[in-house]
Amino acid sequence: MLHIENDQVDSQPVGTIEGRPNTGTVFVKPLLRGETMALLEVRMRAGVASSLHAHAHESLLYVVSGRLRTTVNNETFVLGPGDVCRHPRDASHRVEALEDTVFVEVKSPPIEFGRVFGSVAAS
């Protein structure tokens, strides 16, 4: 696929990342997958955070709106609109929305969505 319109893709409510629970629901929209990377749109309400986790892939994050705190290994950064960060392969990291936040994420190599992200448990 070479093109997709944003409104053609549904956001998926995510309750866990790499099997570790989030504090709140993260909404992930898998926009486009290439041969060596995948592009996601992520939405988090203020106060929602992932648990500390690591991946077998590398991620680049670009903040579109809001503010996000991320910890990578032992370093913590606060990111605002236009800011970027990298989560290296196998690095312990987490993200926390300080405000309602939208960011895009590039993952390489592309991920199997259901292996990395877990659905929100039915109530």
Q: How far apart are CA 18 and CA 46, in angstroms?
A: 21
Q: Is the pLDDT of residue 123 over 50?
A: no
Count other C-beta atoms under 10 Å from residue 119's C-beta.
12
CATH for 49: 2.60.120.10
The answer to whether residue 121 sits within a structural domain is: no
| Structural domains in the chain (count) | 1
Number of helices (H) and strands (E) in the chain: give both, helices first. 1, 10
* 3 belongs to a structural domain: no
- Domain assignment of residue 107, yes or no: yes
Looking at residues 80-103, what average pLDDT do you find? 98
Which domain, by its residues, includes 51?
12-111
pLDDT score of 94: 97
Residue 116 domain flag:
no
Q: What is the pTM of this model?
A: 0.94
Spatial contact of 74 and 40, defined as CB atoms under 8 Å apart: no
Does residue 32 fall inside a structural domain? yes
pLDDT at 1: 85
Measured CA to CA, the distance from residue 112 to residue 18 in angstroms comes to 11
Average pLDDT over residues 14-42: 96
Q: What is the mean pLDDT of residues 67-71?
A: 97
